[in-house]
Structure 1
């Protein structure tokens, strides 16, 4: 069954995610602040909308994956935003990593206008987006989740409803807290292997298959070794995520020293002009390339 889907945000991950929807035969409408970033999708048959309002008025499902919570707030809650302009019964799926409290606010605002809102942040980076294998963490009502699950399945494989509105974002915070400390460990391991005179590629063969194994070790460590810092996930966005996680951890009354240290190191990279590089560029801090 063909569904009209509006997609907002065609960056490193969004472009691939939107392409999967088109390839499945759905009618795709696009709005993004920079039109040329959507050129490939438009050439492939996507429909360009001149504004968020016009997009929301012409589709049955709206999917967004933008940069920051402030962007999410603007596109959903603004006077010319999605909630004010969407048809009753439209499903709203925000896949941005954002603040759980904002997700709850959007849910309640949407419900007042008889719209169905879910927060559904993702993990898996550019590789997961390209392969349609993203992990998708969902917050919202079960009946709404069941309606859009087939659409989510076109973009990901591990799709779990975590609880009510905001639960998807809280789960993503747990994900980012895990990655934050792990990236330090991966960087330190590579530097240790090099200093010990080992071939780091060969070392990875052993440790990635053992108890130290992780997605970051398997997918980002090879990029670190090659000196490839092209973004699968931007440092600037990871810093945003870690700040949201720290704020929520504080509200929950818990200590997250690993997260705090990782944020400190990544902020050094950003200050050195690397905010638009991939998170694997953390290795540069350990290599002493930032002085």
Structure 2
């Protein structure tokens, strides 16, 4: 199957902070979109722009050639794909199913194997880049699954992202995202501590950023989230509660692989403390609040 705006109907399930922008970019490219989310209001702008609303994943699955999902938790992924009213039970043969949620590598493999039994092509394709990357179609997309399915999906990925890489067989996309989240988690501690140190030393934090942001300390988090920390802007580009979910998956996966990850373990303790203090619905940069005394 060739995926073009003229030849394919695309389903999109999950219209949160990331999903809304990703779906909007598909519509801007000309794809006919069918949408579903638990709260219809989140899809209202897309519906008004021409997307067709469906009351259930099953209804959407029956009319789409390719379906993209980006939902909250692994249990949501399992329900959407493997439930009796889910995508695998209701999609037509040869439908392309793409889960872009950050979820469990083991679950991604199970979805792939179950999909094969129904002649469905399934990819795990989690993303990185936050709300800015989603809005600007600059996401990094990490893909696990068969090469033919990846090549079929590539036009969709290129509409939403700027760096789309097949990492290997089913589950590989999720394993890559775990590596990504581990790097971010430990790095975020460093960004917060650097900004707290600069303030405590009596320096202008924005001026400090001009020096360290372009040197060896430079990172996406330093460039994009440190300015938000300084401004006291803790609005979510990516929710703390979802990051904690990701880090828990990463810890379990690391244990399964026999890998010690002390930086990851410290980061999740810090984020769980932030959530316990009422920060679960803030953005990940809100970790800086723990350093403000």
Same fold (TM over 0.5): yes
Deviation at 1:18, TM superposition (A): 0.1
Determine if the alignment matches structure 1 residue 239 to structure 2 residue 250: no
Deviation at 1:259, TM superposition (A): 0.4
- Give the whole-Å Cα distance in 2 for the aligned partners of 1:58 and 1:30: 11
- Give the whole-Å Cα distance in 2 for the aligned partners of 1:48 and 1:206: 49
Deviation at 1:256, TM superposition (A): 0.4
User: Which position in structure 2 is the counterpart of 1:168?
Assistant: 173
Determine if the alignment matches structure 1 residue 221 to structure 2 residue 221: no
Residue ranges of structure 1 left out of the alignment (5+ in a row)? none
Deviation at 1:158, TM superposition (A): 0.6
Pairing of 1:107-122 with structure 2 (within 5 A): 107-122=112-127
- Give the whole-Å Cα distance in 2 for the aligned partners of 1:86 and 1:221: 44
Determine if the alignment matches structure 1 residue 11 to structure 2 residue 40: no
- Give the whole-Å Cα distance in 2 for the aligned partners of 1:139 and 1:254: 22
Pairing of 1:115-134 with structure 2 (within 5 A): 115-134=120-139
Quote the RMSD (CA, aligned, Å).
Answer: 0.5
1:32-62 superposed Cα distances (whole Å, 9 cap, x missing partner): 0000010110010000011110100010001
**Which of residues 61, 64, 67 in structure 2 aligns to 1:59?**
64
Determine if the alignment matches structure 1 residue 209 to structure 2 residue 209: no
Deviation at 1:63, TM superposition (A): 0.2
1:238-288 superposed Cα distances (whole Å, 9 cap, x missing partner): 000000000010111111000000000000111111100000000001112
User: Which position in structure 2 is the counterpart of 1:71?
Assistant: 76
Q: Which runs of 4+ in 1 moved over 4 A?
A: none
User: Which position in structure 2 is the counterpart of 1:271?
Assistant: 276
User: Which position in structure 2 is the counterpart of 1:181?
Assistant: 186
- Give the whole-Å Cα distance in 2 for the aligned partners of 1:112 and 1:51: 23
Determine if the alignment matches structure 1 residue 142 to structure 2 residue 169: no
1:192-214 superposed Cα distances (whole Å, 9 cap, x missing partner): 10111111001001111000010
Across the two proteins, how many residue pairs are aligned to each other?
A: 288
User: Which position in structure 2 is the counterpart of 1:41?
Assistant: 46
- Give the whole-Å Cα distance in 1 for the aligned partners of 2:249 and 2:153: 27
**Which of residues 175, 183, 203 in structure 2 aligns to 1:198?**
203
SS at match of 1:186: helix
- Give the whole-Å Cα distance in 2 for the aligned partners of 1:74 and 1:50: 15
SS at match of 1:154: helix
Residue ranges of structure 2 left out of the alignment (5+ in a row)? none
TM-score, normalised via structure 2 length: 0.98
User: Which position in structure 2 is the counterpart of 1:81?
Assistant: 86
TM-score, normalised via structure 1 length: 0.98
- Give the whole-Å Cα distance in 2 for the aligned partners of 1:205 and 1:184: 19
SS at match of 2:218: coil
1:88-139 superposed Cα distances (whole Å, 9 cap, x missing partner): 0100000000000000000000000000000000000000000000000000
User: Which position in structure 2 is the counterpart of 1:25?
Assistant: 30
User: Which position in structure 1 is the counterpart of 2:267?
Assistant: 262
